[in-house]
Amino acid sequence: MQTTKVWHKTKTREYLAEYRFVAGKDNIPLVLSLVWLLYLFFPFVPTLDFQEIKNSLKPLFLNPTFQGDIFILGLTGWLFFARFTKGFFQHKLLDKYRLPVFAILSLPARLFILENNIDFSSAMAVFAAILIWPLLANIPLSTKKIITGFIAVTIVLNGLWSLDFTWYDLNFSWMPFSGFLEGSLFHNTRTLFLKIFLYASLIFLIKSGWPHLRLRGFMVFSLVFMIEIIQIFMTSHTAEITDPLIVLFLSFMMFNKKNTSWFPKQNISKNPELGKIKSTPVFRKKIYLLSGSIALISIFISLIIKLPGVPYNVKELFRLDGMFIAIIPFGLFIVWFGMSIRLISHRMLDKPSRHFIHFPLLVLAAGLISYFLLKISVTEETLQDITGSPTIYKNVTFQNGWGDFGYMLSLYFPFPSIWNLIEQIIRFLALFSPVTFMLCIFYYSSDLIKKYDIHNFFNQSYLVSISMSFNILYALPWLFLCKYIAFDQANTDNLNELIARDGFFGTGGGGYLYLLVFLLTLNSVWVSQSIRHWIFKLLSVIIAGIAGWFLFNLGLEGNIEKYGLTFSGVDFLLGPDRRIKLSETMLFLRWIILYTGSITILAWGMKFDISSLLTTRSRMNKTAG
């Protein structure tokens, strides 16, 4: 019996090992094949609306015109897919017929994507690729060289197909993404996926015998820049510096040969003198990485709030009219939110007993730091929009809300500002603590698995179920208290009016929103802690983002009437203004950006270990002493 179990474990490991990705350059073709599919299925919003499906078929049946540039693009994309997914699928039959299966199924699948369509040229490209691909195997010339030529021709045709030249109003924009921001965001985002696929594919396919990457990158850069120069004299194109910069960025990202981790595990040497030498560089590297992360996030936010179409409540979020110095504490607040999770989990591991006391206190302490970072960054009006206007002091002194005891207490402490500050802190903690509780519960479970070095799936599941059960019990009274303070006794309707009245098992839309919090926290911890390849993490974010979109819509009210206007909760939170309604596709894109950014920032913050940072600093002080 024991021998049988060992045999099954060995075979299972061998079977799973076959599906592992190989890190490094070998993954680039698979990623590019995925980018091709993302371009085809943009904007990824599923629909079952029969009218939308009919609209997707109209270009194919009502206006079947042949466009050479679209045909060449489709043919090139599917030939690239066929060449570089060879051997990826373990099933021999699927690997043999991967091109016809994926290419043909992509046509009906695109019908169920919102604002996607099938035209005659794209359909012809699918069948042409299926016919041409078997012939390429019999040609003496390398298929890689042929596909390289196809992609180079596609880039030229994509940039110069119209050939509508003019000698008037000649312009070249040196501002990156200027055309992207001015035109249709839907069309420009889809075009961005296409350009990433084409430019990255050409960089990858150019003869690997070139002595330096710089020559390969410069070759593609020169081609793209030459096309942009020609577009200066064309009326249907906007000549700008964006595409050459994309080429330079892709060249750097694809072939960065430094195989170093940003968070390397420290091997503590037994030699004390060697430890003294290494402590200072390690400490400086962590500080530089943390400071750089906060600076980059702050710069990104400062650019975002200046873009057109940004919600007005985001533009008016920060103090000092959105000056950079006011955004820095907010950047620290964002990073701290993830850093605190790891710190709380490590403190719980250090003190395995009395979690019912330590766990809530640590969450509240982390929340206090978050509150003060937020308070010095955002305006008081923004905080009151979130927590509501303070009312407890008026309720105690003028309405006898706490009885004689409350009145006497107000006489001993006649400081309304202190009362209002305490009330605002409590309401802030009630609103944000549930997210911290859920993140800590998931992160602590993964830390336990690492601490006891458990590899068996069933043992991992048993340990996780036990630890999560106890921690949920410890957090449950506080979660109910947070709900009572933040929603049942809310001082503002800004949040409650957005939540759907009917919803999950009689709990209203809040039930769906709690499921959304559960999904977001689980996804962020898995991305941070999992040792799986980043492609699996990316897929998890995409799938969870789509599921979160449905939960987000179910949890918010669909019809709100206020100030003479009618709008939905999704329109209010993701749109630029109550008066301006965006399309469902645009709202979905904004949601995906918001969800992906939240996951990325939380997972990134969890990578920083404050306790080891402080330990390194104390070691340096001892060494200096």
Question: In angstroms, rounded to a whole number, what is the distance separating the alpha carbons of residues 459 and 39?
Answer: 41
For the cut 60, the answer to whether the pLDDT of residue 230 exceeds it is yes
Contacts 24+ apart (CB under 8 A), 81-84: 81/33, 81/36, 81/37, 82/129, 82/133, 83/29, 83/143, 83/144, 83/147, 84/29, 84/30, 84/32, 84/33
Question: In this structure, is the dihedral angle defined by the CA atoms of residues 415, 421, 427 and 433, taken in order, positive or negative?
Answer: negative
Q: Answer yes or no: are the C-beta atoms of 422 and 430 closer than 8 Å.
A: no
For the cut 60, the answer to whether the pLDDT of residue 37 exceeds it is yes
What are the tens digits of pLDDT across the range 343-401?
898 888 887 777 778 888 999 999 999 999 888 888 888 888 777 777 777 777 777 76
Amino acid in the structure at residue 40? L
Question: What mean pLDDT, rounded, does the chain reach?
Answer: 77
Identify which of 127-136, 406-415, 450-459, 613-622 has the greatest average pLDDT.
Answer: 127-136
* pLDDT given at position 283: 62
For the cut 50, the answer to whether the pLDDT of residue 35 exceeds it is yes
For the cut 80, the answer to whether the pLDDT of residue 566 exceeds it is no
* pLDDT given at position 623: 45
* pLDDT given at position 507: 59
Which residues, at least 6 apart from 347, have a Cβ–Cβ distance to it below 8 Å?
Answer: 358, 362, 611
For the cut 60, the answer to whether the pLDDT of residue 213 exceeds it is no
Question: What tokens appear for 524 in the block?
Answer: 């962020």
Which residues, at least 6 apart from 113, have a Cβ–Cβ distance to it below 8 Å?
Answer: 41, 42, 43, 44, 45, 46, 47, 56
Question: In angstroms, rounded to a whole number, what is the distance separating the alpha carbons of residues 381 and 379?
Answer: 5
* pLDDT given at position 494: 65
For the cut 60, the answer to whether the pLDDT of residue 214 exceeds it is no
* pLDDT given at position 5: 45
Neighbour tally for 468: CB within 10 Å: 15
Question: In angstroms, rounded to a whole number, what is the distance separating the alpha carbons of residues 140 and 413?
Answer: 90
Which residues, at least 6 apart from 532, have a Cβ–Cβ distance to it below 8 Å?
Answer: none
Give, in degrees to the nearest 5, the angle at Cα 388 between 387 and 393.
110
Q: What is the pTM of this model?
A: 0.56
Give, in degrees to the nearest 5, the angle at Cα 366 between 365 and 372.
90
Distance, C-alpha 374 to centroid of its chain: 22
Q: Answer yes or no: are the C-beta atoms of 194 and 243 closer than 8 Å.
A: no
* pLDDT given at position 368: 92
Question: In angstroms, rounded to a whole number, what is the distance separating the alpha carbons of residues 559 and 398?
Answer: 37
* pLDDT given at position 364: 92
* pLDDT given at position 23: 36
Residue 281 pLDDT grade (very low, low, confident, very high; cuts 50, 70, 90)? low
For the cut 60, the answer to whether the pLDDT of residue 504 exceeds it is no
- Tell me which of 473 and 506 has the higher pLDDT: 473
> Residue 418 to residues 322, 382, 413: CA-CA distances in angstroms?
27, 19, 9
What are the tens digits of pLDDT across the range 304-325?
777 766 666 677 788 877 788 8
Question: In angstroms, rounded to a whole number, what is the distance separating the alpha carbons of residues 282 and 614?
Answer: 12
Q: What is the mean pLDDT of residues 155-163?
A: 79
Q: Answer yes or no: are the C-beta atoms of 244 and 228 closer than 8 Å.
A: yes
Q: Answer yes or no: are the C-beta atoms of 484 and 427 closer than 8 Å.
A: no
Question: In angstroms, rounded to a whole number, what is the distance separating the alpha carbons of residues 572 and 564?
Answer: 14
Identify which of 63-67, 535-539, 607-611, 616-620 has the greatest average pLDDT.
Answer: 535-539
What are the tens digits of pLDDT across the range 42-101?
877 777 777 777 877 877 777 777 787 888 888 888 888 888 787 776 667 777 788 888
Element (H, E) at 614: helix 610-624
Task: Report the range of poorest mean pLDDT among 2-16, 116-130, 465-479, 598-612.
Answer: 2-16
Element (H, E) at 567: strand 565-567
- Tell me which of 210 and 349 has the higher pLDDT: 349
Neighbour tally for 137: CB within 10 Å: 7
What are the tens digits of pLDDT across the range 433-461?
999 999 999 898 888 888 777 777 788 78
Which burial class, exposed, middle or buried, applies to 438 when counting CB atoms under 10 A from its CB (0-12, 13-18, 19+)?
A: buried
Amino acid in the structure at residue 600? T
Question: What tokens appear for 256 in the block?
Answer: 């960065």
Residue 255 pLDDT grade (very low, low, confident, very high; cuts 50, 70, 90)? low
Residue 505 pLDDT grade (very low, low, confident, very high; cuts 50, 70, 90)? low
Identify which of 287-291, 326-330, 394-398, 411-415 has the greatest average pLDDT.
Answer: 326-330
